[in-house]
Amino acid sequence: MKFNRFGKYPIAFMLVLLCAIPYGIASLHGLHHPAFVRAQEPPEVQSPQSEATPVTPESIFMSQLPSWARLVDIRKVNPNIRLDIRYATANNFLKRKLYSQAKCALRSSVAQKLALVQTDLEKIGLGLKVYDCYRPFSVTEQMWAVLPDPNYVANPARGSRHNRGAAVDLTLVDRTGKELEMPTPYDDFTEKAHGDYQGGSAQSRKNRQVLKDAMKKHGFIGITTEWWHFDSEDWQKFAILDISLGTIP
């Protein structure tokens, strides 16, 4: 029996050649294994609210968001809510004006809930006074540069719930607008401002609890370090913004 020019073992040679073809083709495409790769699921798209930087330009903000998610002026929702927007003055821990105007802006759905809190409090002769609402992201950056303590200032790497228009700083007032006694003044960065602080007067702790209960009833959640700060329970669905207060109607 004679063998052809491919050598003494033609059958073995052909088997090696057939096995090598897929690897040769794959190498042309920069692969290390043959094709027949299982199809992958589409990549998960990260939702805007989890992003840590402003993503919504002012030019499209008002026109493209649904009405419930737009920033609105709280005084147009309930004018009985009193304002003392500290960051529109020098009366704050930075000792300088940070806002172009004294306005409390919130997402429309959040503002509606806060209006209900005001209505309930009026039934017992009380009301709300607001210190801060929506806070532009650029202001949070300025605050962090001065006080980089996540217990009191949001880290810009993650953003603030104020930046989402879903948080509010506030206190209680009586019918005349006089503030009720609380354990500390606003922006007190000590343990006395904590929600579970048991010092101070019994009346201040009672007033703090009245505020907490009124806010909780309508979907606001307090935080441990600041008796005045409350987040809307659905804050996660809102994106971080850096919209100037002057553009909000």
**Active-site residue set:** 226
- DSSP-based three-state secondary structure for 119: helix
- Distance CA(11)–CA(95), nearest Å, equals 89
- The helix or strand, by DSSP H or E, that contains position 72, with its residue range, turns out to be strand 71-73
List b or e across 5-25, with b for residues whose CB sees 16 or more CB atoms inside 10 angstroms: eeeeeeeeeeeeeeeeeeeee
Which tokens in the block code for residue 126?
């009380």
Q: What angle do CA 231, 73, 122 make, to 5 degrees?
A: 70
Instruction: Find, among 80, 79, 102, 76, the residue nearest to 89 by Cα.
Output: 102
Beta strands in 4-63, from DSSP E residues, in sequence order? none
- DSSP-based three-state secondary structure for 169: strand
